[in-house]
Chain A
Amino acid sequence: MSALTPGRGGPLEEAAVWFAELAADEVDPVIERAWERWLQADSRNAVAWARVEEISARFTGLPASGRMALARRDSLGRRRALKVLGLALGGLALGWARPDDWRLGQGADLSTAVGEIRAFDLAAGVRVWLNTDSQLARGATADHWRLLRGEALFESREGTAPRVLEAAPGRMRFGAGCCAVHAGDEGLEVAAYRGALQLLPRQARPESLAQGARALMTATAVQPLGPVDPGRQLWRQGRLVVDDWSMAALVAELGRYRPGLLTCTATVAQLRVVGSYPLADTDRALAALADSLPVRVERRLPWWVQIVPA
């Protein structure tokens, strides 16, 4: 909900993109004219743009002291708020919610840039793959890791000691086998591909996740998400394998691997897509898409590519 869900298209999404372009310090007159054409093309665009201006004014129109407070609160306050959240009712909840600030990493972090997929050996017999734009930090002990951002897939040989992965909503304990975690806006998505694991939300009871199951862990609950999709883990080999996805979902997924913005119009958002797409070269993936479906790839701004009807 909170991340841009590219692909649904529509005036709000386009208005947000134009805002990002026009709020830059230098705006090319050619781009400004393109924006004017967009604005006049549809009355819904004009309505959406008025909303953008209203929202932007709520921030820029604050008095200096208010702006300073909001900015400072963001840089200093949130980490403390997070800590307070853990401490606040710690004893009251179930007694084992740990108050330590899990974001404070020690030692070198492992990370990937946007579009990068990399494998690291964490210990003998334990390997992790980091997906695009991800960060994993070493914890206090050798078997403790923190996912700060993005997605990771762990594979551990038989006989390796159990490990703990910590993320914002809680912890995961896993042993030999293969499992994946993805830190999303709603919580931590966990898939147990091989071997079972244990999920320990910060403010709820621990729950087991059986082999072959997926779940969403939030701070207060573990919600089952049905069986794992075996094709989903192929990202570690650089492939995105989709079977009957909507164009909107595919565009959202491919967009994670690109530094610019990828969207599609509402008119093509519901097209069904099947196929295997290369993640290392998403331009090639988009070209393949245009070959097999009634769509065209349009570069609307240097940083904005949109899938439109052919």
Chain B
Amino acid sequence: MQTLESDRHGHIRTLYLDHHGWLRERLQRRLGCLGQAADLAQDTFVRLLAREAELERLREPRAFLATVAQGLLANHWRRQALERAYLDALAAQPQAVQPSPEAQALILETLTELDALLDRLPGRVRQAFLLAQLEGLTYGVIAERLGVSERMIKKYMAQAMLHCLELVS
């Protein structure tokens, strides 16, 4: 007998039973790893819990699942690219200044957050902000690199900071 709770999630249960194996198999083909594919498939269905209203009107469950999974997969790739870049940067450093594995994990976590914070900014705005804040380049040099005026660089800097302020607060 169904409880009220399971009734509420009935759509998701049906979706899960019908399509979970299919989704996991597709993800595994992309990721080449069964564990990661299982995790992502699971995460996809967890995301659906927050979108039940849409599920009731769903005509093409697989297209919908694919879209949700695609977002998660993109995050996964993004994180992996960042991790690779970080490990490369570490490898270029002398052994003596290597942070501990715990410290590395924390830094990677911070990098992922900062990367996501800037993700939706237009390309040149993000680049100007990163060149100034991470590489300490002057506005004049950044302006030359991006082919715009210094005045535009200031505008970009304000734009990037306001974007962060609004996301954080």
Contact = CB atoms under 8 A, between A and B. Distances in A.
A220 B165 contact: no
Interface residues of B, number: 62
Contact of A74 (B67, B69, B130, B169): B130
Interface in B85-118: 85-86, 88-90, 92-93, 99, 107, 110-111, 114-115, 118
A50 B140 CA distance: 27
Q: Identify the interface centre among A1, A19, A185: most chain B CB within 10 Å of its CB.
A: A19
B70 A80 contact: no
B154 A55 contact: no
Contacts of B123: 78
A95 B138 CA distance: 46
Interface in A115-135: none
B90 A65 contact: yes
Contact of B126 (A16, A74, A149): A74
B165 A51 contact: yes
Contacts of A297: none
Interface in A1-22: 1-5, 12-13, 15-17, 19-21
Given A71-B131, A81-B78, A149 B122 contact: yes
A56 B133 contact: yes
B13 interface: no
Contact of B152 (A51, A70, A88, A259): A259
Contacts, number: 193
Given A16-B165, A62-B107, A69-B111, A93 B63 contact: yes
A13 B82 contact: no
A141 interface: no
Interface in B114-137: 114-115, 118, 120-123, 125-127, 130-135
Interface stretch (B2-10, B45-53, B156-164): B156-164
Contact of A88 (B30, B139, B149): B30
A24 B85 contact: no
Contacts of B33: none
Contacts of A210: none
A94 interface: yes
B43 to A, nearest CB: 14
B66 A59 contact: no
What 3 pairs across the A-B complex have the smallest Cβ distances?
Answer: A20-B157, A16-B162, A69-B86
26 contacts: A3-B121, A4-B155, A5-B162, A15-B165, A19-B161, A25-B138, A52-B161, A55-B161, A59-B133, A60-B134, A63-B99, A63-B107, A65-B89, A65-B93, A69-B85, A70-B111, A71-B135, A73-B81, A76-B85, A77-B78, A80-B81, A85-B74, A92-B70, A259-B149, A260-B154, A302-B151
